[in-house]
Amino acid sequence: MTIRPKAYCIFCNEKQNYILGSEMRDLDVRGVSFSYLETTAHCQECGSLIYVPVVNDNNVTARHKAYYNALYLMEEKEHGREAHGSGL
């Protein structure tokens, strides 16, 4: 965990230092299952999750990369089945 500059905490009703952590997220989007590592920001004072724009932006990028990678692998697997005559 890393202590970062301040961000607004709605529970403390003021800017507080925040601590970064990470959690593995499992999602299913449009029939594509994938996992990605999501960064979380917690208020150092009360421990609540807080919104930090750059953290959110990085999570969106990580989620998109994981989705498109899983979609690519799924399509490759499907093409492999078709090429070998074992398609569904």
Question: What does residue 82 show for φ and ψ, rounded to 5 degrees?
Answer: -65, -40
Closest to 55 in 3D by CA, of 68, 43, 46, 71: 43
pLDDT at 62: 96
For residue 31 the two structure tokens come to 């029939």
pLDDT above 90 covers a percentage of the chain that reads 69
Q: Decide which of 77 and 8 is more confident.
A: 8
What is the chain's Cα-based Rg? 19
The pTM (predicted TM-score) of the whole model is 0.75
The two structure tokens encoding residue 38: 């999501």
pLDDT digits (tens, 9 = 90+) for 19-56: 999 999 998 998 889 999 999 999 999 999 999 999 99
- Residue ranges per domain, the chain? 2-83
